[in-house]
């Protein structure tokens, strides 16, 4: 399961999502398919997120008890964590993040938490960035420190909340970021919208991506020991994901985010492979919200008649005994 859910009560659907798991695509599709908003501006996106965004416990209740259709957008934890690191600490929309004031507030909080974890005194003026290993160390310390929800921002926290064993949920449809267009096609066909027509807010991980900065030197930090290099030194270079996601780093991420791998079915050693949970998807989605509503109304009506008959029989017994 994922941390938040967009809910539409008319179509009776819960769309579960987490930051850095195609969250912009999810919101754009939800706005178009269920709200009739074809062009989603920043202000509309914020208002829509406030109105339709449910926490995982409330959304799970709707899916489990009220029969809402549930769809989930998931991503391999390793590529998700790397995307969060590059997008929040290295470059944001091709803008290098070399100074502490360039970071968003929750990224600044993470930098201070990392300094405290290392036992160092944080100096804003001498900020040189954090490494990918530093961010993973913070996640490991907060996730494994106690068996409660980790004190981490949702961008680099687990996709599966710690409440998952209690709130049991199996999704009706799973969309993996690795196969986004193919997995979204049944949702688009069943509920409308246009699907993932554009990619926004994505950091170019490909070393040969067009429109990037000039090629880095052969001995640059982006190609050697990238995971240990401070983010400020990586901001002006082309970035190769294989330099960060080495076998050793994938093994560590597999241990830290073990709950995600267990529930979502990803292979820790294969960042590009879709999750096993995706194989449960049906070729077509047949979701009739009125059928479920009528069924529940019929059950309530039957229960009311049964309860009325029970009280009538009890009154009759009391009259006979009296």
pLDDT of residue 319: 84
Q: What is the mean pLDDT of each run of 10 residues along the chain (322 residues)?
A: 85 91 90 84 73 83 88 94 94 88 94 92 88 94 80 92 80 92 90 71 46 38 71 82 90 93 92 84 73 62 72 83 74
User: Which residue is it, tokens 């294969």?
Assistant: 270
pLDDT of residue 281: 81
Closest Cα to residue 173, out of 260, 267, 74? 74
Residue 286: alpha-carbon gap to chain centroid: 25
d(CA 33, CA 180): 17
pLDDT of residue 252: 95
Hey, where are the domains in the chain?
A: 76-158+204-251
Q: End-to-end alpha-carbon separation of the chain, Å? A: 57
Closest Cα to residue 86, out of 197, 220, 236, 225? 236
Find the DSSP H helices in 99-205: 105-118, 132-144, 180-191
Closest Cα to residue 159, out of 51, 87, 262, 237? 262
Could you please report the per-residue DSSP string of 115-131? HHHHT----STT-----
């Amino acid at each position: 399961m994922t941390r938040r859910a967009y809910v539409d009560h008319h179509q009776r659907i819960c769309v579960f999502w987490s930051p850095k798991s195609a969250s912009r695509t999810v919101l754009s599709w939800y706005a178009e398919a269920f709200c009739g908003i074809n062009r989603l501006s920043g202000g509309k996106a914020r208002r829509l997120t406030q109105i339709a965004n449910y926490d995982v416990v409330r959304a799970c209740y709707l899916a489990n008890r009220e029969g809402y259709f549930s769809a989930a957008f998931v991503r391999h934890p390793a590529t998700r964590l790397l995307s969060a690191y590059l997008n929040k600490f290295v470059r944001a929309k091709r803008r290098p993040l070399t100074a502490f004031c360039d970071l968003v507030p929750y990224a600044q909080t993470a930098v201070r938490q990392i300094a405290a974890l290392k036992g160092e005194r944080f100096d804003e003026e001498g900020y040189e960035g954090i490494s990918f290993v530093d961010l993973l160390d913070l996640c490991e310390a907060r996730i494994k420190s106690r068996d409660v929800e980790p004190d981490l921002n949702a961008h680099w926290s687990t996709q599966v909340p710690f409440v998952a064993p209690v709130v049991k949920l199996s999704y009706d449809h799973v969309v993996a970021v690795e196969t986004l267009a193919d997995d979204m096609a049944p949702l688009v066909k069943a509920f409308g919208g246009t699907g993932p027509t554009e990619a926004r807010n994505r950091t170019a991980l490909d070393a040969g991506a067009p429109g990037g900065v000039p090629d880095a030197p052969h001995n640059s930090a982006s190609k050697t020991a990238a995971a240990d290099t401070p983010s400020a030194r990586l901001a002006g270079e082309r970035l190769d994901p294989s330099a960060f996601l080495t076998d050793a780093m994938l093994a560590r991420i597999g241990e830290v985010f073990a709950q995600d791998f267990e529930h979502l079915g990803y292979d820790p050693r294969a960042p590009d492979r879709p999750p096993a949970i995706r194989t449960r998807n049906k070729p077509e989605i047949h979701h009739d919200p009125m059928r479920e509503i009528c069924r529940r109304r019929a059950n309530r009506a039957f229960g009311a008649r049964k309860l009325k008959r029970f009280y009538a029989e009890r009154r009759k017994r009391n009259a006979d005994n009296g």
